[in-house]
Copies of this chain bind each other. A is one copy, B any other.
């Protein structure tokens, strides 16, 4: 049993999901494939100005409060990044160039850089720092991210995301192709994968 975890390193709720998906999926006995992609090209088609969470000041304010409240409740830390949304293409390419185990460690380190320390991942030194925190060689990670084959893989990932009907992140796709959207649907996706139904009380 396996689900795919679609995430953008610039997505607030992807941060929340990334920090708990290994524990929660492990408890459910479900494997997880970490699949970075880019929301930018999808949001551009919808006409959002950067993020659907920024369409109204009241909605943006709520999102930051909701994220901060949940992060504090889960003990994972949170700081509102000075730059938001951020250009996440370099982080996505770097993550895609890595093996599955390396990718998890690197992506979690990027999320912590952005949403715990508030750094801007568009800056090369932030990618380097995340690589180092994931026990990877920063030069090797940057070289991997620059490969044409990796750029092509990211382009194709966005196309596959669209084909799955993905319009936001995090998204979870079960092995029967069912889509679940949002950190608060992770339990639903895991239950769907293991039992074919939503969990009790949802």
Contact = CB atoms under 8 A, between A and B. Distances in A.
Report the copy number of this chain in the oligomer. Answer: 2
Given A52-B52, A184-B184, A167 B70 contact: no
Contact of A179 (B62, B70, B168, B197): B62
A72 B19 CA distance: 31
Contacts of A66: 181
B202 A165 contact: no
Contacts of A202: 70, 73
Interface stretch (A53-61, A81-89, A106-114, A138-146): A53-61
Contacts of A167: 56, 58-59, 62
A162 interface: yes
17 contacts: A42-B56, A46-B56, A48-B55, A52-B52, A52-B55, A56-B167, A58-B162, A58-B165, A58-B167, A62-B179, A62-B181, A65-B179, A66-B181, A69-B198, A70-B198, A73-B197, A73-B198
Contacts of A55: 46-48, 52
A42 B168 CA distance: 22
A40 to B, nearest CB: 14
Interface of A: 42, 45-48, 52, 55-56, 58-59, 61-62, 65-66, 69-70, 73, 162, 165-168, 179, 181, 184, 197-198, 202
A173 to B, nearest CB: 12
B61 A165 contact: yes
Nearest to A200: B73
Nearest to A47: B55
A165 to B, nearest CB: 4
